[in-house]
Amino acid sequence: MNFRFCTLRKVLLFFCVLLAAGGPLFAQRKITIKLASLVPENTPWGAAINRMAVEWAQATNGEVELIVYHNGVAGSEGDVLRKLNLNQIQAAIFTSIGLNSVMPEVMTISYPFLIRDDEELDEVLQKIRPELDAKIEQNGFVTLAWARAGWVKIFSKTPVFTPNDLRRLKVGTNPDELEMLQAFKVMGFQMVPVNMNDVLVSLNGGMIDALYQSPITVAGAQIFGIAKNMSTVNLAPFMGGIIMNRTAWRRIPDRYKDRLQRICKRIEREIDGSISALERDAVSSMTRYGLIINQPDPRQEQEWYNDMARHEAELVGPVFNKELYQKISVLLAEYRRRR
Q: What is the structure's pLDDT at 89?
A: 96
Q: Cα(149)–Cα(217) distance, rounded to whole angstroms?
A: 10
Lowest mean pLDDT among 1-10, 77-86, 157-166, 270-279: 1-10
Q: What is the structure's pLDDT at 28?
A: 55
Looking at residue 81, its amino acid is L
pLDDT at 116 over 80: yes
Q: Cα(25)–Cα(85) distance, rounded to whole angstroms?
A: 30
User: What radius of gyration, in Å, describes the C-alpha atoms of the chain?
Assistant: 25
Q: Cα(123)–Cα(118) distance, rounded to whole angstroms?
A: 9
Q: What is the structure's pLDDT at 198?
A: 93
Q: How far apart are the first and last CA of the chain?
A: 89
Q: Where are the beta strands (DSSP E) in the chain?
A: 31-36, 64-69, 91-95, 141-156, 170-173, 190-193, 210-213, 229-231, 236-245, 292-294
**Domains in the chain, ordered, with CATH?**
27-338 (3.40.190.170)
User: Mean of the pLDDT values across residues 172-200?
Assistant: 90
CB 291 within 8 A of CB 230: yes
Q: pLDDT tens for residues 307-319?
A: 999 999 999 999 8
3-state helix, strand, coil in the chain (%, to 5): 55, 20, 25
Q: Cα(66)–Cα(152) distance, rounded to whole angstroms?
A: 31
pLDDT at 98 over 60: yes
Q: pLDDT tens for residues 244-287?
A: 999 999 999 999 999 999 999 999 888 888 888 889 999 999 99
What is this structure's pTM? 0.84
Q: What is the structure's pLDDT at 97?
A: 82
Q: What is the structure's pLDDT at 148?
A: 81
